[in-house]
Every structure is written in structure tokens, then in C-alpha cells.
Amino acid sequence: MTRLLACLALLIATLLPAAATADQRDIDSASRSVVRVVLLGVSGDNIRLLGHGSGFAVEGDKIVTNHHVIRYAVRYNDVVAAVIPSEGDDPSVVSVIDYDSRRDLALLEIKGELRLPPLVLVSNFTSEEAEVTAVGYPGVVDRALGNRSSDKIRAQIPIKGRGFVSQQRDVRDVYSIMHSATIAGGNSGGPLLDNCGRVLGVNSSSTLSGTGEGEFFFAVANREVLSFLRKNDVSASVSDLPCRSLAEIEAEEAEREAQAKKLAEEEQAEREEKAEQEREQIEAQIQSDREDAMALAAVLLLVAAGGGALAWQTSQKEGGKKHAYIFGGIAAVAAIGAATVWLQRPGPEDVDAMLLERRAGDDDAAVANLIDKSGPIAGSLTCVLDLERSRITGSPDRDIEFDWTEQGCVNGRTQYGRDGAEWSRVFVPNSDDVVSVNRFDPDTGEYLVERYLIGLDAMDDARAKRQAYKPPSCGAVDAATRLGDMQSGVLASLPDSPNDRLFYQCEVKR
């Protein structure tokens, strides 16, 4: 009865909509790397199922699982271990590279052509009460579905159970994560994932409470897993970055844009206020200069009048002509000066000209600086990953370098397409099940890499759309516009949002 209740509880937990915050796309993408590990007893032509568990890829052909899952394959020569991927029913035989019975870990190598996308392991997980997801193939579900015989054991879709971390501690001298994400027999060896689909540990056991008390589950923590992998020279993908949702990143980006807009508006208001103050100062200065000019013109008119009177008076005297010319000249000069001062006195129409003149000196350096920095960048670029603006589930390069031309050519061989103001290139590899869309804005130096981890059917569709066109070579006539049109089919088939959004800021190499 207890096992029946546990089976029903597990099935209900997998069917109910989750109220958790994990990104289901990341969990689904990670599940592609989770395999069913089966043990087969081989006696002549007779093959029988001895047991099964779960495992996950840490390299394309390397699988981590529990030691207790494959212990019979180590112990007996007539027992063969194999793995079945989540998107396929054909088993691939594996060999046991190494195992550690104390840590309950084992490393397997796929002998056939099967290759799986490796999962990323978190190297510094310390959070208590963090949300987690256990992924694997519990046997209770097989029994509930009637898949108990060897010919019915196949991968199907791995079961995902969510819960929370209770604590991390040593359990029988093995550092472990205690959590509430439901697991059962068959989950052993499967990964415990964070909300970004990254591995926190290897699920291994439970308290198996049958008394009605709370049941807890244990995973061997990555502290032990990474040590085991290093011992076997496995180059696993490792991340020390926090898990952040795309919604969180987009909310921060929206807040950043709002703050930038607010700052721009404040700066504009400050400039307008400063301009108004300058205008008022200039208008006051013009009024003062105008009054001074009018007063000077009046004085000069008085001088002219006085000089004229003296010239007339002296001309009436005997021998006064010489002095009359002098006074007359003074009067004439004063009159001309008065007229000139009067005509050249500043007025309201001179405000704008004086504003421009005052600002000319201040603006020369600013304009020169603006000219130096404006316009699209090109040449050899260095781009640095902005962790605050990126959504990262893997372990990407922190900095990259490439050459960019104004025609959208990268490193002299990869043409980017242009749709309006956006430069982009879609990459659909034949080996990895991931589509990458790289975008570059030469005006801002922003380089964006968005990665979409999609299933086999979606990947086949993307490859078919990509193979339908041949990108033009660098420098070909109208290459950017033509490629922009060609890529639209692949772009339209992708999900609304990516799994990874890597934001790089680029600048020209010095």
C-alpha cells in the first residue's frame, strides 16, 4: 500500500502544473542529456533485464551515474550495461571507466556512435531552500504504465519532480544535498538540477520512510562529483555564475532603459533650464549695453552740438576760421560717432547670436569628442561579457575577439545579414542540437549571442530551413540584404525566447 501511494503521489506530482519558477525550457533541454541506464544479463541468445537507473552526459560520450546502478556490470562478466537516450529507444552499450563505491559514483563511456549534449555542473552551489528538479526514470512509473518486461523498458520522457533544498551536509562521509524533489528507484544516477537546468548533484538515495514521517532524498553534491571527474581527466563544463531567469534579466533591462530615459529627460531639462538662464543673462546684458550705448550716443550728440556752436561762434570772429574748422571737425566726428553708436546698439534680435557665440568655445571640444566617437565601429574588436545583462546557463567565453567590416563581414569569411538596422547571423550546426543567433550593433558596440536549445524534431526542422539556402560570401553584391531575407525562415521557427542570452560590449582594439 505504501508503495502504491508513493507511485500515485509521484504520478500526480508530474501531472499537476508547477507553481515553481524554474524555466521549463531549460529543464526540458537538460533532460535531453539524461539517459536510462539498463543492466542486461546475457546468456547466449537470451537477454534479460536485471535492473535500471538513470545517468547524464558530462561529455558527448561520457555518462555519470551511481555505482550501485552498474555494480553488477562490474562484478559479473555476463552482465552488460547500456544507455537509452530520452529521444530514442535504441540502447547503446557502455563500458565502465571508473567507479567510487564510497561516493556511489560511476563514469561510463558510450561505445557506439551516440553522442549527447553535456550538462553544465555548478561549482559553488551553497543556497539553502533553493528550488530544484530531479530528472530520471523511476521504476514506479514503469510499473504504473505496465512497462515491466525487458522489451518494454525504453527511455520515454524522463520524469521531472520538483522540490527544495533542505540542507547540505556530510552523509556517511560524502558531501550531499538533502532535498524534497521526489525520486524513486530508477532515479538513481540522474541529475538534480537548478532552475537553469544545471547539475547540482547526482541523485542517489532516500530515507524510504514507511511510517508516515516526512521522506527526504539525497544527491551526491558536485563537490564530490567534480573531484571524481577530475580524477578521470573529464573536461566537464562548469559554471560558478548564479542562475537568473530571463524574465529577471528583461525586467532589469527594462528598468535600465527606464533609468536611462529618465536621466536623459533630467539632463534635457537641466540643459533647457541652463539655456533659459543664459538667455536671461544675455537679455539683461543686452539691455545694459543698449542703455550704455544710448547714453554714449546722447553724450556724443551733446559734444557734436557743443562743437558746432563753438565752430559757428569762432567763425564770426576775425582770424577764427582755423579754430572753427577744429571745432567743426570735432562736432562732425562726435555726430558720426553718435549715429554709429545708436545704430549699432544691441537689441532683442541679438540674443540668439550672442548665445551661439558664448557657447561656441564650450562646444568646440564637445563637438570634436562627439565626432571622434560617433558613427559605427569597425576593425579589430574586443568584446567583454556583461554578466549583469546576460542570462547564462552554460559556461561561455568571458571575452571574444573578431574583425568587423562596415559591410557586415566577420573575420573576412562570415557574412552577416541585415534586416533594417539589425545585423545578424543564424548558426545551425549539424552536430550540436542548439541554434545560435548572433547580433551586432556597430553604432553601440553591443554584440548579442542568443542560444536556443531545442528538441530533435525542432532541430531537424531548423536544419532543413538552413540547408534550403546558401549564404552569400563576404563582399558579394547586396550580400547583407539577401542573407537577411534568407535567414527569416529559421528565425520564425525558433521559440519566443532563448535559453541563453549573452550580452557582450565591444570596442576597437587599442
pLDDT category of residue 3 using cuts at 50, 70 and 90: very low
pLDDT of residue 362: 60
C-beta separation of 260 from 268 below 8 A: no
Alpha helices in 114-163 (DSSP H): 139-145
pLDDT of residue 141: 56
pLDDT of residue 414: 96
pLDDT of 49 over the 60 cut: yes
Q: What percent of the chain clears pLDDT 70, i.e. is strictly above it? A: 87
pLDDT of 214 over the 60 cut: no
- Sign of the Cα torsion 197, 202, 208, 214 reads negative
The arithmetic mean of pLDDT across residues 474-497, rounded, is 92
pLDDT tens digits, 368-423: 454 455 578 999 999 999 999 999 988 899 999 999 999 999 999 999 999 888 89
Euclidean distance between CA atoms 173 and 103, whole angstroms: 8
Looking at per-residue pLDDT, the higher value among 154 and 46 belongs to 46
**For the chain, what are the domain ranges?**
2-243, 248-373, 379-508
- Which residues in 247-273 are b (16+ Cβ under 10 Å) and which e? eebeeeeeeeeeeeeeeeeeeeeeeee
C-alpha Rg value of the chain to the nearest Å: 40
* CATH class for the domain made up of 2-243: mainly beta
pLDDT of 219 over the 90 cut: yes
C-beta separation of 131 from 195 below 8 A: yes
Distances (CA, A) of 21 to 18, 243, 344, 499: 8, 11, 75, 15
The arithmetic mean of pLDDT across residues 48-54, rounded, is 90
Nearest to 408 by CA among 435, 378, 384: 378
Of 6-15, 167-176, 222-231, 411-420, which range is least confident? 6-15
Looking at per-residue pLDDT, the higher value among 375 and 137 belongs to 137
Highest mean pLDDT among 262-266, 293-297, 470-474: 470-474
Of 136-145, 212-221, 402-411, which range is least confident? 136-145
Termini Cα distance of the chain: 72
